[in-house]
Structures are given as structure tokens and as C-alpha cells.
């Protein structure tokens, strides 16, 4: 039984890590050039200081928001709704 629990924990850890890496990889590929490798801000504002929560960021990425400057007046292209959620969760880890 103990061994079984350990295996379950290992599987949970590995899949959790893969999930986190997805968000990180997507962030690097699609956001870092404007928001900086650690979300410190470049062309786009710092994400370390954003007041938006994970859900609001997911919504911004998946749908865009009226009145926002490019590229966020529209949905981020090439990002599924699920991926938007993964990147948004990753952005949450950058906050300071």
C-alpha cells in the first residue's frame, strides 16, 4: 500500500511538472519577447506587477479585450483556450 501511494505521488508530480513546463514553454515562445523572460516587462508591461488574476489573464489571452493595445485587442493567435489557461497559470508564478 505504501509503495502504491508513492507511485501515485510520483505520477502526480511528473504530470504536474509537464503541465507547468507547458505554460513556461508557451510563455517563452509567445510572450517573453514582449514581456521579458521573467515577466519584467519590455515592449509590454511587467507581468510581475499585474493586478489581473489568473482567470482575467486567461480571458485576455483567449478573447482579447476591447480598448487594449495590440496584440491584446484580439485573442493571441495560435493559442487554444486550454493553453491560455496554462500560460496564465505560469504568469501567476512570475508575480512578485
71 contributes a contact to ligand HEC by CB under 6 A = yes
Which residue from 23, 36, 76, 86 is in contact with ligand HEC, where contact means CB under 6 A? Answer: 76
- Give the residue among 49, 50, 72 at the shortest CA–CA distance from 62: 72
Give the C-alpha separation, 22 to 42, whole Å.
22
The least CB distance from residue 90 to ligand HEC, in Å, is 8
Name the CA radius of gyration of the chain, rounded.
16
**How many residues form the binding site for ligand HEC (CB under 6 A)?**
22
The stretch near ligand HEC (CB under 6 A) out of 1-9, 13-21, 55-63 is 55-63
Give the C-alpha separation, 62 to 57, whole Å.
8
The stretch near ligand HEC (CB under 6 A) out of 8-16, 17-25, 33-41 is 33-41
Give the C-alpha separation, 90 to 84, whole Å.
10
Site track for ligand HEC across 9-28, x = CB under 6 A: --------------------
Amino acid at each position: 500500500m505504501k509503495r502504491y501511494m508513492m507511485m501515485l505521488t510520483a505520477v502526480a508530480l511528473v504530470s504536474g511538472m509537464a503541465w507547468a513546463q507547458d505554460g513556461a514553454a508557451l510563455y517563452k515562445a509567445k510572450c517573453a519577447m514582449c514581456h521579458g523572460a521573467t515577466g519584467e516587462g519590455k515592449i509590454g508591461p511587467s507581468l510581475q506587477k499585474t493586478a489581473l488574476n489568473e482567470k482575467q489573464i486567461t480571458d485576455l489571452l483567449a478573447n482579447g479585450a476591447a480598448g487594449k493595445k495590440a496584440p491584446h485587442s484580439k485573442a493571441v493567435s495560435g493559442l487554444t483556450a486550454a493553453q491560455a489557461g496554462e500560460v496564465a497559470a505560469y504568469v501567476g508564478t512570475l508575480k512578485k
